Structure 1
């Protein structure tokens, strides 16, 4: 029988979905030492383990991948990919259920809480099952919206529950909560799992036997914390009453070193048990040399994170040709982060081998490869964006929340090519803020066709966007916003709000 309350942080997705919540979990563990703090995420993010352990947070991996790519099913029936995805989801939920059962056991303790991001909606049902408070902790605005027919269909199929939610007091769960972020929980995908595996009602807020709304118990509206700044995103009046905007959640810079040696050293440094601070940069010495030479010309960062593994970078060779052609047109220098995407790294190696007979075209090192006359430096092991971005003239990226926030804090112009979900929102928002040109279309950065016409067209669009980003107006605006963000501490604000919520439960 445990005596300490548990704070479970569940976060699924790619790095930008995970690291901000991990930073909050670590800060919460340091602030609330009476809690046992657990962080549950994909095993692919195992580099977090050493940092979390240094802050007394237990890391528990789940074997499911951060993304399920259709690439491995290319050329097969769509059904085979759908069946494969269902199998992964089923296994993922089974693992999560086993973990949560082991943590909470047969009963809860006062103060127990589950904090989730939008890709960990299992946590809401687990909180209901074990009767603990659930908090949503999201680094970005809701990445999906309800279908236009959702409310009409809901009102038709569940009139009693619809009226029950519409009539809820401001401080209780109501229709605003449902339509803002909870609506997926009312779909069959979640309903069958809730009823068959958890023995809960298929619909939240209904009795499992009668299917009627639980009139005898109205739950408080769940606290929803957003990890962005009010300087960047407006706070509309139609959001639920318990939404709070904290400021961006930036992990400590040492967390973003992906290689294991760096992770071990940086965790020791952050916990005060090592004097090896200088060793962190030695592994990335080649990158440092590229940035500083020539010192009068800052390079431009290019990183698409997990876009490749999601199936959007189908022709890496064409992508590299676009970059090479853009370099010929502009005279710039690029730093390309390959994010460990094997087909892209294979294309980089292919370019390197083709140019190996011409030493002036390609230089190799243990930490990266230089192509196109030494003007494109390609590397795989990541470095902290808050170290790298201030050393760059601009950041070309996919519009992920983490990359966007890091570029804003660094005060560098951005060129964004969105591919999915909230990336389109961030791309449009950065253009509206004046820190980026209009978003690039996908074919203007990663064309599928490796033909001269498409390559040249894409390169010209990229160069025009870069020219726009280097205007004095865009640079000035980027620095202005950076100065405002430097005064915010989103992680501390999030921990404060979580503590307030837990105190209100007692």
Structure 2
């Protein structure tokens, strides 16, 4: 197969797709991975630059989403109010317009070099994916590591947290999945005209409907051991398991290795870019204060705005900007993070008890789910960090049941081949036309 695979955002958004690209190449397929240039090195070395392990497989990385990544890294952490938010939204629209064009150019390059494209696999934030596929006359497969688009009576769309709205309310809540078209319909209509497609994009169009009106396929790369597949899911909704990079691809910095070797397993605490800079110092003070109050060793990841950077004056606390979760989490006693899909997956796979501090989006959903799984205390709202983090840390590391249950879940996830199952599913989709 010749696959155009695209995602954009931060490392957590791109890393699963880099892993999937390498798995496809290992199975003998030709992959063009359209992602921000700064994250191109996430592709495992075996697949990078045209050297996949399969007989004809390779991954070619094309730049797409550089401006969007710059926005997330440099602009959003400086936001402080509604006016900044409005300016940021305008800049985001410009970055989105640029990403549409970059993805189209990646498709044209793949056509020229590989003789065509057989399928477009696109992260839900890559809104040009289905239109490019329609122009090329090939399938488009939507993908997102949370159950956001396929209606089910089992639970509402994850943005409702852990609530239960009843069977009808749960299903109705998935209308939220049309929000992308509602915000960007005029831009997408202009893009269609730019690439020679007729028609305009309606603001309430269903992203799971193909141009001929049939149901489109969607890949949800999370584990059924974490969230069971609802019995009312259609055959076009696929849950293959998590997509992880090979462990050997994630190396820790020397300073992290030295800290880990110097004492007992620490607690990891990090919130990525959550908070976007606002309250970063207060979160840092709360985290360092809670570690001091409990006497726990800690690795604190400041991220892009989650907490104010700078070294700690305590020998038992290491402050870093970030570290690869796949390499670090198995060597920690417990993990505390914002509940992003990627961080949640890494903590569970490592078999570590987890405390979720949810800020927005699907994070309260994963926090509630981990509580139900028995691997986590109640999620802690960010506004309560200063008052309650020390007590919640004590509960997290002092409750043996959390560690036992986390180990059980971790064993199941490590035995699961989400990448292989994803490859198999995609091959079947393309074979069926």
Give the shorter-chain TM-score range: 0.7 to 0.9
Q: CA deviation at 1:399?
A: 0.5
CA distance, structure 1, for counterparts of residue 127 and residue 329 of structure 2: 33
| Pick aligned residue for 1:285 from 254, 257, 268 | 254
- Change beyond 3 A, Cα 1:107–1:323: closer
Note closer, same or farther for the CA distance 1:432–1:93 as it changes in structure 2 (3 Å cut): same
Superposed displacement of residue 322, structure 1: 1.3
Q: Which has the larger Rg?
A: 1
Match of 1:58 in 2: 60
CA distance in 2, matches of 1:77, 1:412: 38
Query: 8 Å contact 2:15–2:245 — kept in the other structure?
Result: yes
Tell me the TM-score normalised to structure 1 length: 0.70
Contact 2:334/2:354, CA 8 A, preserved across alignment: yes
Q: What root-mean-square deviation, in Å, do the aligned CA atoms of Structure 1 and Structure 2 show?
A: 3.3
Supply the distance in 2 between the matched residues of 1:106 and 1:492 (Cα, whole angstroms).
Answer: 26
Matched, 1:469 2:399: no
Matched, 1:234 2:228: yes
Q: Which residue of 1 aligns with 2:97?
A: 90
Aligned partner of 1:201 in structure 2 is 199
Task: Kindly report which structure 2 residues correspond to 1:11-50, keeping only aligned pairs within 5 A, or say none.
Answer: 11-32=7-28, 35-48=29-42
Q: Under a length normalisation based on structure 2, what TM-score does the superposition of the two structures give? A: 0.81
Question: SS in structure 1 opposite 2:68?
Answer: coil
Superposition deviation, residue 392 in structure 1: 1.1
Q: Secondary structure at the match of 1:480?
A: helix
Q: Shift in Å at residue 391 of structure 1? A: 1.5
Distance 1:177 1:29, change over 3 A: farther
Matched with 1:189 is 184
Residue number in structure 1 paired with 2:206: none
Partners of 1:50 and 1:382 in 2: how far apart?
17
**Structure 1 residues 191 and 146: alpha-carbon distance in aligned structure 2, compared to 1, 3 A threshold:** farther
Aligned partners of 2:306 and 2:362: how far apart in 1? 25
User: What is the match of residue 162 of structure 1?
Assistant: none
Q: Is the 8 A contact 2:77 2:273 kept in 1?
A: no
Q: 1: CA distance between counterparts of 2:84 and 2:60?
A: 41
Do the aligned residues in 2 keep the contact of 1:185 with 1:191 (CA within 8 Å)? no
Partner of 2:167: none
2:152 aligned partner: none
Check 1:337–1:324 CA distance in 2 against 1; reply closer, same or farther (3 A cut): closer
Cα distance change of structure 1 residues 78 and 499 upon mapping to structure 2, 3 Å threshold:
closer
Q: Distance in 1 between the 2:185 and 2:114 partners? A: 24
Contact 2:283–2:307 (Cα < 8 Å) also in 1: no
- Superposed counterparts of 1:259-338, under 5 Å: 284-294=253-263, 297-307=264-274, 311=276, 313-338=277-302
What SS class does the counterpart of residue 230 from structure 2 fall into? coil
Determine the structure 2 residue equivalent to 1:140: 146
CA contact (8 A) 2:250 2:326 kept: no
Q: Is the CA contact 1:301–1:389 (under 8 Å) kept in the aligned structure 2?
A: yes
Tell me which residue corresponds to 1:262.
none
